[in-house]
Amino acid sequence: MGPTACLWPPAHYCSLTCSLGPSLPLTWLPLQLLWAGLELDIVGQLHLQDEELASTRPGRRLRLLLQHQVPRDLEGAEQRLQQLQDLRKGPPLSPWDFEHLLLTGVSCVYRLHVASEAEERGRWAQVFTLLAQETLWDLCKGFCPQGQPPSLGLWASIVDSFP
Taking the C-alpha atoms of residue 160 and residue 138, their distance in angstroms, rounded to an integer, is 24
Higher pLDDT, 143 or 97: 97
DSSP output for 123-144? HHHHHHHHHHHHHHHHHHTTTS
Determine the 3-state secondary structure of 74 from DSSP.
Answer: helix
**Using the 8-state DSSP alphabet, how is residue 71 labeled?**
-
Greatest Cα pair distance, the chain, in angstroms, is 48
pLDDT given for residue 27 in this prediction: 47
pLDDT given for residue 71 in this prediction: 92
pLDDT given for residue 80 in this prediction: 95
**What are the CA-CA distances from residue 163 to residues 22, 116, 135, 141, 160 (Å)?**
43, 13, 24, 32, 8
Higher pLDDT, 154 or 118: 118
The alpha-carbon radius of gyration of the chain (Å, integer) is: 16
Query: pTM above the 0.75 mark?
Result: no
Cβ distance 65 to 103 under 8 Å? yes
Highest mean pLDDT among 69-73, 124-128, 143-147: 124-128
**Model confidence band, residue 108 (pLDDT cutoffs 50, 70, 90):** very high
Cβ distance 132 to 119 under 8 Å? no
> Residue 60: which region, alpha, beta or left (left: phi > 0; alpha: psi -120 to 50)?
alpha
